[in-house]
Amino acid sequence: MSLRCPSTGKALLALAAVAALAGGCDRERRDLGASMPEGGPQIQTTDLTPGRGGVLPPDPRGQLYEKSAYHVSEGSRLFRWYNCSGCHANGGGGMGPALIDDEWRYGSSIEQIYGTILEGRPNGMPSFRGKATEQQIWQLAAYVRSLGGETPQASSSRREAMRSTPPRNQVTPPKPKGEGAPAVQGTAR
Amino acid sequence: MKQAASGLIALLLLCGCSGVQTPLDPAGDQAASIHTMWNVMLVVCSFFYALVIGGLLWAVVRRRREPVPEPQASAHDPGIERTLAVWTGLILAGLTLLISWSFFVDRSLAQTHDDQALHITVTGYQWWWRVEYQDGPVNQWFETANEIHLPAGRTARIKLESGDVIHSFWAPNLAGKMDLIPGRHNVLDITPRRIGVYRSQCAEFCGMQHAHMALPITVESPEAFKVWRAHQLQAAKAPTSQQEAFGKAVFETKACAFCHKIDGADAGGRTAPNLTHLASRPSLAADAIPYSRGALAGWISDPQGMKPGTKMPNVPLTSAESSAVVAYLDSLK
Amino acid sequence: MGDKVAEPERRRRWWWIGALVVLLLAVVAAVILSRNTSSPGATQKIASAPFQPGAPGEDDGQWTMPAKDYASTRYSALNQINVSNVGALRPEFTFSTGVNKGHEAAPIVVGGTMYIVTPFPNQVFALDLTRPGAPLKWSYSPKPKSAAQGVACCDVVNRGAVYSDGKIIIATLDGAVIGLNAETGSEAWRTQLGDINRGETITMAPLVVKGKVLVGNSGGEMGVRGWLTALDAGSGSVAWRAYNTGPDKDVLIGADFKPFYAMDRGTDLGVKTWPPEAWRTGGATVWGWISYDPELNLIYYGTGNPGPWNAEQRPGDNKWSSGIFARDPDTGQARWFYQISPHDLHDYDAINENVLLDLPIGGKVRKVLVRPERNGYVYVIDRASGQVLSADPFVYVNSSQGVDLRTGRLKPNKDKEPQVGKVVREICPSANGAKDWNPSAWSPRTRLLYLPHVNMCMDWQSAEVNYIAGTPYVGAEVRMYGGAGGNRGVFTAWDPVKRTKAWEIKEDLPLWSGALATGGDLVFYGTMEGWFKAVDASNGRVLWQFKTSSGIIGQPISYRGPDGRQYIAILSGVGGWAGAVVSGNLDPRDPTAALGMANATQDLKQKTTTGGTLYVFALPVHR
Q: In what order do the strands lie in the sheet with B177-180?
A: B148-151, B214-220, B196-202, B167-170, B177-180
All structural domains of chain C with their residue ranges: 49-74+105-618
Number of domains chain A is built from: 1
User: Of B216, B251, B285, which closes a domain?
Assistant: B216
Q: For residues C48 and C66, what is the distance between their CA atoms, to the nearest angstrom?
A: 16
Look at residue B7 and tell me if it is in a domain: no
Distance CA C331, CA C253 (A): 11
What is the spatial order of strands in the sheet that C227-232 belongs to? Answer: C207-209, C212-216, C227-232, C238-243
**A60, C552 in Cβ contact below 8 A?**
no
Exposed, middle or buried by CB within 10 Å (0-12, 13-18, 19+), for C598? buried
Mean pLDDT of A60-86: 91
Confidence of residue B79 (pLDDT cuts 50, 70, 90): confident
Q: CA nearest A122 in C: which residue?
A: C147
- Above 70 in pLDDT, residue A165? no
Burial degree of C37 (CB within 10 A; 0-12, 13-18, 19+) = exposed
Q: Which residue has the higher pLDDT, B267 or C55?
A: B267
**pLDDT band at residue B108, thresholds of 50, 70 and 90?**
confident
For residues B263 and B206, membership in a common domain is answered with no
The answer to whether C346 and C415 are in contact (CB under 8 A) is: no
What counts of helices (H) and strands (E) characterise chain C?
A: 6, 38
- Within a domain: A127: yes
User: Which residues of chain C does B264 touch, with a Cβ-Cβ cutoff of 8 Å?
Assistant: 277
- The answer, yes or no, to whether residue C622 has pLDDT greater than 60, is yes
Nearest to B269 among C271, C421, C466 (CB): C466
Cβ burial, residue A54 (10 Å; 0-12/13-18/19+): exposed
* Per-residue pLDDT at C18 exceeds 90: no
Asked if residues A159 and A167 have their Cβ atoms less than 8 Å apart, the reply is: no
Phi/psi at B289 (nearest 5 deg)?
A: -135, 130
Residue B171 structural domain? 17-69+76-216
Which residues have CB under 8 Å from B234's CB, separation 6+? none
DSSP C478-511: EEEEE-TTS-SEEEEEEETTTTEEEEEEEESSPP
Q: pLDDT value at position B66?
A: 66
* B276 and B158, same domain (yes or no): no
- The chains in contact with chain A, meaning 3 or more Cβ pairs closer than 8 Å, are B, C
| H helices, E strands: number in chain A | 7, 0
Residue A165 lies in a domain: no
C478 and chain A in contact, CB less than 8 A? no
pLDDT value of residue C530: 97
Residue type, C28: V
CA-based end-to-end distance of chain C: 74
* Whole-number Cα distances in Å, B163 to A60, B125, B181: 35, 5, 8
Residue C40 has pLDDT above 80, yes or no: no
Q: Are C417 and C367 in contact (CB under 8 A)?
A: no
Q: Is A178 part of a structural domain of the chain?
A: no
CA torsion, ordered B223, B228, B234, B239, to nearest 10 deg: 130
Banded model confidence at residue C59, pLDDT cuts 50, 70, 90: confident
A103-117, C188-202, C279-293: range with lowest mean pLDDT = A103-117
**Distance of residue B121 Cα from the nearest chain C Cα, in angstroms:** 12
| B57 and B150 inside one domain | yes
What letter represents residue C386's amino acid? Answer: G
Q: Is A10 helix (H, G, I), strand (E, B) or coil?
A: helix
CA distance B279 to chain A (A): 24
CA-based nearest residue to C597, from C287, C284, C286, C154: C154
Q: Chain B residues contacting C, CB < 8 Å?
A: 134, 137-139, 141-142, 161-163, 182-183, 233, 235, 257-259, 263-264, 266, 268-271
pLDDT tens-digit readout, C85-125:
999 999 999 999 999 999 999 999 999 999 999 999 999 99
Residue B307: closest CA among B105, B184, B127: B127
Arithmetic mean of pLDDT over chain C: 93
**Residue C468 and residue B137: Cβ atoms within 8 Å?**
no
Is residue A139 domain-resident?
A: yes
**Any domain includes B9:** no
A-facing residues of C in 432-451 (CB < 8 A) are none
What dotted CATH number matches C49-74+105-618? Answer: 2.140.10.10
Instruction: Note if C536 is an active site residue.
Output: no
Q: In Å, how far is B258's CA from the nearest CA of chain A? A: 7
Tell me which of B125, B304, B306 to substitute to probe the interface with A (most A C-beta atoms closer than 10 Å): B304
**Residue B235: inside a domain, yes or no?**
no
Q: Residue B139 and residue C421: Cβ atoms within 8 Å? A: no
Longest pairwise C-alpha distance within chain C:
113
Residue C405: other Cβ atoms inside 10 A:
13
| Nearest by CB: C587 against A81, A98, A186 | A98
| Residues forming beta bridges with residue C171, ordered by sequence position | C177
What domain range is A125 assigned to?
A: 72-158
Per-residue confidence band for A63, with pLDDT thresholds at 50, 70 and 90: confident
Strand B196-202 and strand C531-536: the pairing is: unpaired
d(CA C186, CA C182): 8
Residue B291 contacts residue B282 (beta carbons within 8 Å): yes
The dihedrals phi and psi of A4, each to the nearest 5 degrees, come to -115, 135
B103 pLDDT band (50/70/90 cuts)? very high
Does B246 share its domain with B210? Answer: no
Catalytic site includes residue C305: yes
B61 lies in some domain: yes
Q: Which residue of B has its CA nearest to A39?
A: B316
Let me know if residue B227 belongs to a domain: no
Number of domains in chain B: 2
Q: How far apart are CA B20 and CA B196, in angstroms?
A: 8
Establish whether this prediction's ipTM goes over 0.90: no
Question: What pLDDT score does C9 carry?
Answer: 78
At residue A185 the predicted structure's pLDDT band, cuts being 50, 70 and 90, is very low
End-to-end CA distance of chain B: 53
Q: How does residue C48 score in pLDDT terms, banded at 50, 70 and 90? A: very low
Q: Which DSSP symbol is given to A57? A: P
Closest by CA position to C446, among listed C72, C22, C73, C71: C73
For residue B255, what is the domain's CATH number?
2.60.40.420
Q: Which among B259, B271, B304 has CB closest to A33?
A: B304
Distances (CA, A) of C508 to C188, C492, C513: 45, 14, 14
Per-residue exposure over C335-370, b if at least 16 CB sit within 10 Å of its own CB, e if not = bbbbbbbbbbbbbbbbbbbbbbbebebeeeebbbbb
Taking CB atoms and an 8 Å limit, are C584 and A93 in contact across chains?
yes
pLDDT band for position B121 (cuts 50, 70, 90):
very high
pLDDT of B200 reads 94
Smallest CA–CA distance, residue A43 to chain B, in Å, is 21
Mark whether B38 and B171 lie in a shared domain: yes
**Taking 80 as the threshold, does the pLDDT of residue B73 lie above it?**
no
Q: Check whether A91 has a pLDDT greater than 80.
A: yes
Higher pLDDT, C28 or B27: B27
Domain annotation covers residue B65: yes
Is the pLDDT at C49 greater than 60? The verdict is no
Specify the pLDDT at position C270.
96
CA–CA separation, C394 and C448 (whole Å): 14
pLDDT digits (tens, 9 = 90+) for B294-319: 999 999 999 998 899 999 999 989 99
Please give the Cα distance from B261 to C371 (Å, whole number): 39
Please answer whether residues B34 and B23 qualify as being in contact, where contact means their C-beta atoms are separated by less than 8 angstroms. yes
pLDDT single digits (tens) B226-259: 999 999 999 999 999 999 999 999 999 999 999 9
- Name residues whose C-beta falls within 8 Å of residue A35's C-beta, 6 or more positions apart in sequence: none
pLDDT of res. C5: 53
Residues 6+ away with beta carbon under 8 Å from A156: A69, A72, A146, A166, A167, A170
Separation between Cα atoms, residue A127 and residue A113, nearest integer Å: 12
